[in-house]
Chains A and B, each alone.
Chain A
């Protein structure tokens, strides 16, 4: 056995020299199984498959709703927005922070666009760009309180979030605003087109995955969350990483807010509370997807699948016809179950049972 092969064995967690030979197909299948289980996204993947089987096959016997175009679009429109915001929360959670204000940035952005266009006659595209810049600014402010003034982000982002919610309600007297016709053209590509949500979500998931796994920024984000002092001693600019990730969260929040507004053609004041909801969904998606609340590790693919689990639960129960009130109970129970499974799988990995 060559040294390289032995090293590869060790790297893959196999005893050197043992394994493959003589075991044939079965051994290889077992190894493939172990490989899947060793991935951090394994749990949520299994949960996602089980839920798809349940809602897509077992429960849809006699009804054809799940696999219809309308229903799939419906599913992706729950799914996409949660994904995008969850991606940003993954970056923040990894570097040891959280953004609770992102839901209100989401609610605020469409109103800002509305005011810019109708009250200040700003051209449509510029208004959209300014909304994204607004997201960046909110992220910067969050980072300023958290990093520069040294306050916990759990509190600072709650504060900025409430301020944003209050400003929306005050300036618009709690009324809805219609999306101005000037931006409907570009709005089509951002959110109005039926599959726009999921297409953007997939693109951003791939981009964020590369950012996290293949760039210095991602590596430093993990380093900052894993050992902030150590990262600083190695010369990593901790403040810069945190500022950047807060700003990514802001811009993603504003973008998804615009998407949602284009989709429904209105900027809704009640998305103040809907903003609360999407933020918690996003954090839940990140965490049940395998991102650590305490920083240092996380995965974009996991967040993508975590968002799917939340979306299919919401969509699936609605298709079955469970009414809205008990649905919330199922929802909470499902999140708990997903977390329990996640921890159990992690323990299995950590104890080396599958190694």
Chain B
């Protein structure tokens, strides 16, 4: 497996140029530039409130940027909705998982891309497919007919991830996919990301707090601090120590500023 990064000649699958996002008086993102190559896994890190989730929600069409542009395969696009972004091959796993407690596992896995025949739901086909996907991922749940409300946090997370991974998306956005995971389940998700990487045609942006785990699976890391990308390095060029120091330094600086003004 070579990690030949397309520079220059081949356009990146995704480019983000000068994206800013304001919510009223609050500025969540400032002039963010980011790029993602085909088959690349990009780790997006940063402390709470740095704007990671906002950036992700813009990339999947759930929110629109205040300014800036997004290029998909070299073409400028404006995502009108989640459906629109999804139709262009972008799919996300949200931090809040976007699961419906009252629906079964398989209905959740096929939510808004249900299989139908003569406009009626093909429950049998969806049930079978859901079972296959989960088996392939090594996820163990009592039954795909169970309401997701009855599942553990890790199982819910697995279902949310499986939903996106098997959606034929070419760009996957994972917002803290390891958050509610036990050690075993976390390893399973990381294996899944490695699997995707081996396939070579799917690119991934993964948000996580555990820098060690991020560096384990990703090719490159971007650090987001208070809405600004402050670091963009290949994983060989950085370390858990450097990333931790950068985030801690930011905290120290903010603390000092506060003490000075007090």
Seen from chain A, the residues whose Cβ lies within 8 Å of a Cβ on chain B are: 7, 10-11, 210, 214-216, 219-220, 222-223, 225-227, 229-237, 296-297
Contact = CB atoms under 8 A, between A and B. Distances in A.
Nearest to A218: B121
Contacts of A10: 142-143
Contact of B82 (A219, A227, A232, A296): A232
A220 B112 contact: yes
Interface stretch (B41-49, B100-108, B182-190, B218-226): B100-108
A219 B120 contact: no
Contact of A229 (B98, B101, B102, B107): B98
A216 B119 CA distance: 8
29 contacts: A7-B143, A11-B142, A214-B121, A215-B120, A215-B121, A219-B103, A219-B107, A219-B114, A219-B121, A222-B100, A223-B100, A223-B111, A226-B102, A227-B101, A229-B98, A230-B96, A230-B99, A230-B100, A232-B62, A232-B82, A233-B62, A233-B94, A233-B98, A234-B111, A235-B82, A235-B83, A236-B111, A236-B112, A296-B101
A216 B121 contact: yes
A227 B121 contact: no
Nearest to B113: A235
A45 to B, nearest CB: 21
B97 interface: yes
Do most interface residues of chain A lie in helix, strand or loop, or is the interface mixed? helix
Contact of A235 (B100, B112, B142, B145): B112
Contacts of A236: 111-112
A236 B111 CA distance: 8
A262 to B, nearest CB: 32
B111 A227 contact: no
B83 to A, nearest CB: 4
**Main SS of chain B's interface residues?**
loop
Interface of B: 62, 81-83, 86, 92, 94, 96-103, 107, 111-112, 114, 116, 119-121, 123, 142-143, 145-146
Contacts of B107: 219
B102 A235 contact: no
Contacts of B123: 214
A233 B175 CA distance: 13
Contacts of B97: 230
Contact of A296 (B81, B86, B98, B102): B102
Given A222-B100, A227-B101, A297-B102, A234 B112 contact: yes
Contacts of A230: 94, 96-100
B143 A11 contact: yes
Contacts of B114: 216, 219
Given A226-B101, A233-B98, A216 B83 contact: no
A226 B103 contact: yes
B174 to A, nearest CB: 14
A63 to B, nearest CB: 46
Contacts of B92: 233
A230 B97 CA distance: 7
Contacts of A297: 102
Contacts of B101: 226-227, 296
Given A11-B143, A235-B112, A210 B82 contact: no
Contacts of A227: 98-101
Given A11-B146, A225-B102, 9 more contacts: A11-B145, A215-B121, A226-B101, A229-B96, A230-B100, A231-B112, A232-B82, A234-B98, A237-B81
Contacts of B143: 7, 10-11
A10 B142 CA distance: 6
A235 B103 contact: no
Contacts of A214: 120-121, 123
A7 B107 CA distance: 18
A215 B122 CA distance: 9
Nearest to B144: A11
B184 to A, nearest CB: 21
B68 to A, nearest CB: 22
A234 B94 CA distance: 9
Nearest to A236: B112
Which of A11, A226, A230, A232 lies at the interface centre, i.e. has the most chain B CB atoms within 10 A of its CB? Answer: A230
A235 B120 contact: no
Most chain A CB neighbours (cut-off 10 Å) among B99, B112, B145: B112
Nearest to B123: A214
Contacts of A215: 116, 119-121
- In this complex, the member of B92, B116, B121 whose beta carbon has the largest number of chain A beta carbons within 10 angstroms is B121
Nearest to A16: B142
A168 B146 CA distance: 50
A235 B112 CA distance: 6
B25 to A, nearest CB: 21
Nearest to A227: B100
Contacts of B116: 215-216
Contacts of B81: 235, 237
Contacts of A296: 100-102
